[in-house]
Amino acid sequence: MNRVEMRFLSLADNVGLARIAAAALAGQANFSIHDIEEIKVAVSEAVSNAIIHGYENRPDGWVDLIMELDQSGMTIIVEDAGVGIADVEQAREPAYSKDPERMGLGFVFMESFMHGLEVESTLGRGTQVRMRRFVTLSGELSRDAQ
């Protein structure tokens, strides 16, 4: 069991900081290197979304990263107090993005690499992304995780 809470400004520099912290915590559990690489991508996407969409690239917003390890895996929460998402279901669709240079794959990667994704958002109040990754044993979900 372990729990880490971080709060950082909505700066692009902090995306790397967040995923390195996630990787370091995941390294305390029985995650494989491949698992940790995927967790890093999911965290990177969630934090990038908070900065780009939540705070619309404003550098003065706070992003909260809460990570918890337990016997069966890791829970990661990324929360912002930004503008919120008008239509969460639409935002989760592949190729949906307000920026033509972006691919709208952030949620696709989060859903693909994690074993559960919940998004709660309120316009004008912010967004919380909650992700869960189970420890896998020999390529299968551990008994506790099933």
Partner 1 sequence: MTIMHAIQGRHVRVTLRGDLDLKTAEPLRDALDKLVDRYRDKNLVLDLTEVDFVDSSGLGVILGRYRRLSAQGRQISLAGVKPSVRSILELAGVDSIISIGGDPVRGQTAAPKS
Footprint of partner 1 on this chain (CB under 8 A)? 12-13, 15-16, 19, 34, 37, 40-41, 44-45, 48, 51-52, 99, 101-106, 108-109, 112
Which amino acid makes up residue 100? P
Q: Is 45 a catalytic residue?
A: yes
Active-site pick, 102, 111, 130, 132: 102
CB of 71: closest distance to partner 1 in angstroms?
26
Smallest gap from residue 143 Cβ to partner 1 (A): 26
- Which pair of structure tokens corresponds to residue 56? 């619309």
Is 49 an annotated catalytic residue?
A: yes
| Exposure string over 80-91, b if 16+ CB within 10 A, otherwise e | bbbbbbeeeeeb
CA distance 138 to 146: 14
- Cβ neighbours around 94 below 10 Å, total: 11
For the bound state, the minimum distance from the C-beta of residue 16 to partner 1, rounded and expressed in Å, comes to: 6
Which positions are catalytic? 45, 49, 102
